[in-house]
Structure 1
Amino acid sequence: MDQDDYKEFNDPKYLLAFFLHPEWKGTLVTPSEFDNLIELAGELWKEWGHKRNSVTELYSQIGKYRLGKKPYNRPYSSKYNTPLNWWLLINDGKNQLSRLAIKLFSITPHSASCERIFSSLGWFFGKRRQRLQLKTLQSMAKIHRYSLSHTKTSVGHISGTYDEEELRDLLFEISNEIGDTDDDIFDEATINQNMARARELEHLNNYEHELENDNLTIERS
């Protein structure tokens, strides 16, 4: 992995989860990293709809956690416990920090999505298509991934027979079969049309996401 790849996958949220791991309780984080993590935690908390007073209390709880004060001085053993269970037992005010930690540690890490993307890239970039530019290949992968992620709405007439995950697997298998039998399925004109369509869909999704955020903000204000 080169430096650019490292920067792409060096997500600050990973470092925040490491900071909140009760086995080390933030002791391995440098002062400069600590400042950045406080800012990140506050940004996440505000994005999730919490107001200024709640963010201020979150900062206070982070400071107590960093200093090892009650209730964050509870012992932790990886042999008998998990970070999620440890945080579930923490009670401090309105529990801003524990709620943040619980949300982070409730995320199940897996590589299934990445493996599927790389698998699709394998048949995009076949023996008869070795001159595709990186941007073109990237756009094709985005189109493919977008199609898979919207299977429930695009093929809703069979949603009663298959659940969402089964539909994704089915479409993915069909895509692989098409790739094995027809290396020329993507001519240059089709690629350009799909790229333009993908950009339109991306703009539309971003706009809808902004509207949802605005509505949530109005409801919580």
Structure 2
Amino acid sequence: MQYLKEETKNKIISEALKEFKLKGYNKSSVRTIAKNSETSVGNIYKYFDSKEDLYKTLIGDVYNKIVEYITALENVKLDEKAEYIFIELLEKIMKVFETKSTELAILFNGSEGTIYENCKTFFAEWVTGTVTKKLNYDLSFKGKKLKDNFIIYLLACNLVESVAIILNEKEDGREVKRYINNIIDILFCDIDDKLDIEDC
């Protein structure tokens, strides 16, 4: 009996992932999820309090894991060991993109109307701040600093939108990871050569 209940819940989750990825949160229908998972709307509400609760169940852990790694990156003390820690934490973030690409596609493309709807702005601002902090640290050894970080912000927004497209278009997690790594390299490799720099 317990097996059947777990099987039903898993089927609801599977169909909810498809529905949210296809239509986003606002346009998704609990009735459609119920129909496609061969259960009733009432039965869905035995497992989840609401459509919002179902969405948070699917997306919350992935979002929280990314935020956990982002917070860890923000707390890295900039010194000669920082780059190794950055690489290690970024690899953990990329592993989440590889293993949870469907959930992240929903987060990036279908969160309007949820507590996560501003996630792309949050991620773009984080990338801007992190790259700015790292570049200013590196430039400080040359007695230089960035004039401003507007171009970094533009690149960060471009990165986040590119990630959203990649997640929407590509199903295979390894392919998602490869495309994201490539776009990061294209946008940010040798970035300090493209920015206005001034003396400290």
TM-score by length of 2: 0.31
Query: Which protein has the larger Cα radius of gyration, Structure 1 or Structure 2?
Result: 1
- Comparing both structures, which one devotes a greater share of its residues to helix? 2
Q: Which has the higher contact order (CA 8 A, sep 6+)?
A: 2
